[in-house]
Amino acid sequence: MNPALDSSMIPDNYGDEPGADRGMSTLFAISIIVLAVIGGAIVGALTRSRRSLRERVESLASSEARYRSLVHDAAYGIYRSSESGLLYANAALVQMLGYQSEAELLKLDLATQVYSDPQTRALLFEKFRGQERGAGVETTWKRKDGTPVAVRLTFRVLRDPQGSITYEGIVEDVSSRRALEQQLLHSEKLAALGRMVAGAAHEINNPLTAILGYAELLAENPSTTREQREFAEKIRQQARRTKVITTNLQSFSSQAPEPKRQAVDLNSIILNALRIEELNARQKNIIFKQELGANVPPVLGDEYQMLEVCMHILNNSVDALREVGGGSVRVRTWQEDDSAVIEFSDSGPGISDLSRVFDPFYTTKPIGEGAGLGLSACYGIVKEHGGKIECRNSAEGGAVITIRLPIAQSAPNAVAVSSTPH
C-alpha cells in the first residue's frame, strides 16, 4: 500500500518560492510519492514471495512425510547399505528378520549375522561390481534366532562424486513360495512315479496270476509228492506276497480298481490294528497308547484299505523303536471341522528325510526287510479316500503322522461298519 503524503515532506516556504524553486519542490514531492509506491510494491512482492516459499516448504515437508511413511510402512523390506553394513532398514525388514528395532539391526555385520553363508555377500559384490542394478537375486538370510529365510533382492547402485557406493533395495521373503514350489515338484515326482509303477504292476500281474494259479493246482493235486506240494506252497506264498506288492503299487498310483465304499468306524479299525500288532510290539519292549475320541464320526471308505494304512504306520513305528531298544506309540483320533483325524506318534528317532518319506522304494531298512512301499501305499490309499496324510518330526524327536479323512456326510443312508479282528 502507498503511504500517505505527510505535510512534513513539503517545505515550509512552498508556494512562496519563485517559479524555479517551486518546480523543484514539486518534483521532490513527486519523487517522494513514487518512491513510496515502489517501496509498497517491493514490500508486497516480498510478502508474496515469502508466502510462496513457505507453501513450497510445507508441500515438500508433506511430500517427504508421505514418502517416508510409504517406505517405513511398506509390506516388503526396504534397506539402504554400504559395503560396511546397513544404513537404513524399514519396519518390515526388522520384523522379517525377527529383531526388535532398526537400531538393533543396523549394528549387525551383514556377512556373518544376516547372510546364512558369510561368503555369499562378497560373491554378490563381485558379481554386480560395475553394474547399476540387480533384480530377482535369490539368496538365504537368517533370522535373529538362526532360522534360515529365503529372500529375493532387487536393488540399485548409487555412486557419489567421491566414488563411494550405496545400495538401495527391496527384500521379499520367498520362503513360503519356495516351500510351495518344493511341494509342487514333489507332487509331480510322485505322479510320474505313480504312472511308471502302475504300468509295471499291470505287466507283472499278468504272469503272476498264472504262476499263482498253477502253484495252487500243483499244491492241491493229490498225485504230487509231499516234497512237491511243499515247494508248490512256497511258490504260492511268494506269489501272494508279490501280489500284495503290486497291489500296493497300484494303490499308490491311484490306478487300482475302485473298491466298494461304505461308512466305516475309524476307532474300530485302529483297535483291530493295535490288537494285531500288540504281541509283536510287546516282544520288542514297545507299548501302545490310545486316545480315541468318543464321538468321531464314520468316514466313507474301504475298511480293509484303512486297516492296511494303520498296519503300515504301526509297523514302521515298531521297527523304528526296535532300533533304539523300545519306547511307546500313541494313537489319537478326533474330529476337526468336516474331517476325522488320526495321529500316530512315537518316541523313536524320527524320520531322517521328510522330503522322501512317501517315495516308493525309499526305505531306511536293511536289504530284505522292506521294499519301501508302505508309506507310499498309504499315501495312495488316503488320497483315493479324498484325504491328506502328513509327516513331521516332533520337538522331542519322534515321528508324527497325521491323516485327515472327510467324514461320511455325503452318504446319509450309509451304515457305519465296525471292524472285527481278522
Looking up residue 86, the CATH number of its domain turns out to be 3.30.450.20
| pLDDT of 222 strictly over 90 | no
Position with higher pLDDT, 356 vs 140:
140
pLDDT mean over 377-402: 86
Confidence (pLDDT) at 164 = 80
422, part of any domain: no
Domain shared by 84 and 128, yes or no: yes
In the listed set 173, 194, 214, which residue is the last one of a domain according to the structure?
A: 173
CA–CA gap between residue 388 and residue 386 (Å, rounded): 7
Confidence (pLDDT) at 397 = 80
417, part of any domain: no
Domain shared by 150 and 49, yes or no: no
| pLDDT of 413 strictly over 80 | no
Domain shared by 218 and 159, yes or no: no
| pLDDT of 267 strictly over 90 | yes
1, part of any domain: no
Domain shared by 14 and 86, yes or no: no
In the listed set 173, 198, 215, which residue is the last one of a domain according to the structure?
A: 173
Domain shared by 316 and 339, yes or no: yes
CA–CA gap between residue 154 and residue 79 (Å, rounded): 10
416, part of any domain: no
Cβ–Cβ under 8 Å, residues 265 and 418: yes
Confidence (pLDDT) at 298 = 92
Q: Of 41-45, 226-230, 283-287, give the lowest mean pLDDT range.
A: 41-45
Confidence (pLDDT) at 12 = 53
Q: How many domains does the chain have?
A: 4
| pLDDT of 344 strictly over 90 | yes
Q: What average pLDDT does the chain have?
A: 77
CA–CA gap between residue 109 and residue 122 (Å, rounded): 13
Domain shared by 282 and 190, yes or no: no
242, part of any domain: yes
Confidence (pLDDT) at 422 = 35
* Closest among 305, 310, 303 to 329, alpha carbons compared: 310
- Mean pLDDT comparison of 5-9, 131-135, 289-293, highest-scoring range: 289-293
pTM for the whole structure: 0.43
Amino acid at 187: S
Domain shared by 339 and 236, yes or no: no
Domain shared by 268 and 405, yes or no: yes
Residue 296 DSSP SS3: coil
| pLDDT of 10 strictly over 60 | no
Domain shared by 273 and 155, yes or no: no
Q: What is the pLDDT of residues 15-55, one digit of tens each?
A: 455 555 666 677 777 777 777 777 777 777 777 777 777 76
| CATH number for the domain harbouring residue 242 | 1.10.287
| CATH number for the domain harbouring residue 275 | 3.30.565.10
Confidence (pLDDT) at 238 = 79
Q: What is the pLDDT of residues 122-138, one digit of tens each?
A: 888 888 877 888 888 88
Domain that holds residue 224: 179-252
Confidence (pLDDT) at 341 = 94
| pLDDT of 254 strictly over 80 | no
Residue 7 DSSP SS3: helix
Position with higher pLDDT, 188 vs 14:
188
CA–CA gap between residue 222 and residue 68 (Å, rounded): 95
Confidence (pLDDT) at 4 = 47
Confidence (pLDDT) at 363 = 55
| pLDDT of 72 strictly over 70 | no
Domain shared by 371 and 331, yes or no: yes
In the listed set 43, 71, 99, which residue is the last one of a domain according to the structure?
A: 71
Model confidence at 403, pLDDT cuts 50, 70, 90, reads very high
Task: Say what percent of the chain tops pLDDT 90.
Answer: 10
Task: Say what percent of the chain tops pLDDT 70.
Answer: 76
* Closest among 366, 355, 352, 373 to 308, alpha carbons compared: 373
Domain shared by 29 and 128, yes or no: no
| pLDDT of 259 strictly over 60 | no
81, part of any domain: yes
421, part of any domain: no
Model confidence at 155, pLDDT cuts 50, 70, 90, reads confident
Confidence (pLDDT) at 412 = 40
pLDDT mean over 251-264: 64
Domain shared by 395 and 280, yes or no: yes
- Return the residue matching grid coordinates 500288532: 277
Q: Of 52-66, 301-315, 336-350, 395-409, give the lowest mean pLDDT range.
A: 52-66
List of residues 6+ apart from 70 with CB closer than 8 A: none
pLDDT mean over 286-299: 90
Residue 208 DSSP SS3: helix
Confidence (pLDDT) at 262 = 83
128, part of any domain: yes
pLDDT mean over 319-344: 90
Residue 157 DSSP SS3: strand
